[in-house]
Amino acid sequence: MIRSHRTAITSALLALGLGISACAETTAPLPPPEELLLVVNTGDNDLSIIPLAKEFSTVRVSLGANVPVDARVTAGRRFAVVTTGGGDSLAVVDLTKRSVERTVHLGVGSEAQGAAIQGDSVAFVALSGVGSIARVHLITGEVTVVETGPRPRDMVLTRGRLFVVHGGQECTVPSEECFAEESWILVTDPVSLMRQGVADSIPLPGPGNASYAAVASDGRLYVLSTGTADTPAGRLSIVDPVSRVEVGSFGGLGEFPGPITADRGERIIISSTTEGLMAFNTRTRSVVRGANAGIPVATNTAVTTDSQGIIYGIESGACTGSGNGRVRLFRADFTEVRSIPLGACAGSATTTLIPPAEEALRR
């Protein structure tokens, strides 16, 4: 009798729980993040924002100021930053609103170039013209500037540190006061902006002018040196961010190669206005598509990849006179998918994943 009574009570409680569960409203899963392709149109002083899952419906956002030909775009989860004002200011673009949130002035002669974004609120910017880096609070516009040395060109955040790539001093007429230096990387704390450890400087021997950097899936830092007027051959350096030493350096990329990107696999993709798209395999440590073997992309000024492995090669179009650029889409095996029109003198490009729109979250 006791066992039967307990069984009856248990069954009743179970039925009640099932009834409550059936009446409770289920929570729908959050929509996926939105992936965007961003391209700077320096001839039109605007930014193309292209949602990659919405039939490539491009939005053009005016940056409100003169955009230099060598302007760069860097993006985080909410904001993107673009060099404007001839390199002396930074446009902060809210990617959820598709509009410029604010313009931050960095000082006359700053020549802002590469940047890195931390979280949703802080950007670090290389100020090549004044030998410094700036930390910019994207919400308030507050700027902190710290001197680092000649010609910082790019930077990446990895292993809890900020790695600042310096191209060395450029001189039109070498002299005792001004001479072409080899490139190097400064390692700093992103909080204090102070140099970190004994090995706070990583030399990059060989032809100089290190200008672009990316972190690959193997965790190593890859740095592209474009070469100089005296030594125009480009080189790709491999840097171990833990031991802080260069562990490899490779040529065969032609003269004055450009921006690079790491795909989700084993490759660094390299852009070149003369060679098109080239590729380096990070596992075999070999140039698999080098000079004279690149994928033809006319006046290829930039390259980026997305989460699906699609490669985006930027054709600048005419930077003087008429004629717009375009972005050409390639599968991982470099077979072409299609192209998308861009503005005049298209340049720097990147992709990013942003949170779903607020309207989608409310549904």
Q: How confident is the model at residue 84 (pLDDT cuts 50, 70, 90)?
A: very high
- What does the pLDDT look like over 125-167, one tens digit per residue? 999 999 999 999 999 999 999 999 889 999 999 999 999 999 9
Check residue 25 and give its pLDDT: 53
Task: Tell me what the mean pLDDT of segment 351-360 comes to.
Answer: 76
Distances (CA, A) of 23 to 17, 20, 28, 242: 10, 5, 15, 55
Percent helix, strand and coil across the chain, each rounded to 5? Answer: 10, 45, 45
Task: Tell me what the mean pLDDT of segment 35-39 comes to.
Answer: 97
Check residue 227 and give its pLDDT: 86
Amino acid type, 259: P
In a domain, 15, yes or no: no
CB 63 within 8 A of CB 47: yes
CB 191 within 8 A of CB 219: no
Q: Which domain holds residue 323?
A: 33-362
Least confident of 178-182, 224-228, 324-328: 178-182
In a domain, 246, yes or no: yes
CATH number at residue 235: 2.130.10.10
In a domain, 325, yes or no: yes
Question: What's the structural domain count of the chain?
Answer: 1
Mean per-residue pLDDT over the chain, rounded: 87
In a domain, 37, yes or no: yes
Check residue 75 and give its pLDDT: 97
pTM equals: 0.87
In a domain, 161, yes or no: yes
Q: How confident is the model at residue 286 (pLDDT cuts 50, 70, 90)?
A: very high
Check residue 345 and give its pLDDT: 96
Least confident of 236-245, 280-289, 348-357: 348-357
Nearest residue to 269 (alpha-carbon basis) of 318, 199, 323, 212: 212
**Strand-pair partners of 315:** 300, 326
